[in-house]
Amino acid sequence: MPGTTPLVDRSPPEARTRRRRLRACHECDWVVALPALKGGEKAECPRCGHTLVRRHHFPAQRSMALSITALTALILSVAFPFVSFSVGGIGNQIELSQTATTLIGFHQPIVAVVVILTIVVLPALYLLGVIWLQYGLLREQALPASRDIARSLSHLTPWMMADVFIIGALVSLIKVAGIAQIELGMSFWAFCAFAIFLLLTTQSLDADWMWFSLKGEPLAPEGTITGETAFFQGLTGCATCGLINRLSSHEKSYCARCHERLHARLPHSLQRTWALLGAAAVMYIPANLYPIMTTTSLGDSTPSTIIGGVVELLQMGSWPVAAVIFIASVIVPVSKFVALVWLCLVVKRSDELNAVGRTRLYRVTEFIGRWSMVDVFVVAILVALIRAGSLMSITPGPAALAFGAVVALTMLAAMSFDPRLIWDSPLPRQERLFSGSKENIDG
């Protein structure tokens, strides 16, 4: 009923303003004017293809419903048994939280903290933040601290790994199913539902609509020209809320709408990326040389490295599981490392023919990094589950911490790399292609 629909869901930003709203692409720095969008439509950068805005039907109500559902599923997943196993009359049953707490008993507190943060704590904070924001918008009066909470959501998203944990759980159960009887608890199914609804919640969040509803949209700086890069106009687009701001040459600049720190380019982007990649390369050596876990069966202990675990799965005939572990633990980290090294080396030699391809490579590199955590989650689940003394038990090895560090460092390296640097080299042919679309707009 239109009369009872909240303003935030009743009309999109384009219907509440008579002026064109401008954006500077986060990946190529091209200034464009957003078109009027309907539900289910999106606006892409004409230069690099990056999605600038994705519009949803009833965004506040949609995100509110999905986040409440996801949070309910998370509560159920921590309140009931997760999985149990039995072999030779001896068994064990664990809850979701034990995948982290058990690691503390084996002197792996850092890995334990990472596991509980990525699968429970950070997702819970994210969902609570979404509920807080959307509730305020639906009642047409933003709640306290809404701006700070909205700003933090984009920073939390890359570190939530419930979907990766589900893959790790499936790999663990397949490994154990050949030697023991497995029973899935209610918590397992609740966590699967939680992972799905968490993913749907992150995809349903219309940040453009949300920020407009929270704080409106201040005018773009006078004289802003579309069809040009923001950098050469002394401007930059906020990476959090999208607003175009003018940079100050004398002091630190902050976004006029969300108060996020602004940079024309990420400070020391290449230097930070190189440093993080170097640290990741150093940690990758012990991650592969040392055992990631040790399996004890009938009093006989067998340490297993990452590659050794893949070989063992192949010998058992578990080709699909071996492929998942090999891709996540070997192919993905190495590919990400090589891709970022190559991007850093050729960033100053980009041209209009390969800039789009290199930008797409960066997107893939940034997306796949978190999936390497599968092996760490496999270790966490097996260590908590397989605890039958000398008959059968699994303990974590030093490689678990080293490999977790590799994943975190490569993720940070991808975040430190500024893809706009790819487009900063002279692009004469591209300039000709876009010269006809330039338009002076006084916001």
* Domain chopping of the chain, boundaries: 59-209+267-423
**What's the rounded Cα separation, in Å, for the pair 153 and 212?**
16
Summarize pLDDT for 361-415 with one digit per residue, the tens: 999 998 888 888 998 999 999 888 887 666 678 889 899 999 999 999 999 999 9
For the residues 254-267, what does the mean pLDDT come to?
90
The confidence score (pLDDT) of residue 273 equals: 96
High-pLDDT (> 70) share of the chain, %: 91
Nearest to 81 by CA among 204, 186, 5, 196: 186
Residue 438: pLDDT over 60: no
CA–CA separation, 331 and 138 (whole Å): 45
What's the whole-number mean pLDDT along residues 47-73?
A: 92
pLDDT value, residue 196: 96
Q: Give the residue-averaged pLDDT of 348-369.
A: 83
Confidence tier at 350 by pLDDT (50, 70, 90): low
| CA–CA distance, 79 with 382 (Å, rounded to integer) | 20
* Mean pLDDT along residues 144-148: 91
Stated pTM of the model:
0.89
Q: How confident is the model at residue 18, as a pLDDT?
A: 67
At 111, which amino acid appears? V
CB 398 within 8 A of CB 291: yes
Tell me, what's the pLDDT at 269?
A: 93
Asked if residues 92 and 386 have their Cβ atoms less than 8 Å apart, the reply is: yes
In whole numbers, what is the pLDDT of the chain averaged over residues?
86
- pLDDT at residue 432, rounded to an integer: 39
The DSSP code sequence of 399-433 is: HHHHHHHHHHHHHHHHHHS-GGGGG-S--HHHHHH
Pairwise CA distance, residues 51 & 367, whole Å: 15
- Which pLDDT value is given to residue 309? 80
Across 224-230, average pLDDT? 89
Q: What is the mean pLDDT of residues 405-433?
A: 79
Measured CA to CA in angstroms, residue 163 lies from 169, 175, 283, 345 at distances of: 10, 19, 25, 33
- At residue 434 the predicted structure's pLDDT band, cuts being 50, 70 and 90, is very low
Higher confidence at residue 253 or residue 90? Answer: 253
Place of tokens 């030697």: 179
Least confident of 137-141, 210-214, 427-431: 427-431
Q: How many contiguous H segments (helices) and E segments (strands) does the chain have?
A: 17, 15
Of 228-232, 301-305, 401-405, minimum mean pLDDT range: 301-305
Separation CA 276–CA 375 (nearest Å): 21
Across 128-156, average pLDDT: 91
pLDDT digits (tens, 9 = 90+) for 3-42: 466 667 667 787 777 677 899 999 999 999 998 888 888 9
- Residues 139-167: what's their mean pLDDT? 91
Confidence of residue 297 (pLDDT cuts 50, 70, 90): confident
State yes or no: pLDDT of 271 exceeds 70. Answer: yes
User: pLDDT at residue 215 above 90?
Assistant: no
Residue 352 pLDDT level (bands cut at 50, 70, 90): low
Helices (H), 233-331: 269-289, 306-315, 319-326
Identify the band that residue 351 occupies on the pLDDT scale cut at 50, 70 and 90.
Answer: low
Q: How far apart are CA 195 and CA 69, in angstroms?
A: 11
What is the C-alpha to C-alpha distance for residues 165 and 175, in angstroms, rounded to an integer?
15
> In this predicted structure, what is the pLDDT of residue 342?
92
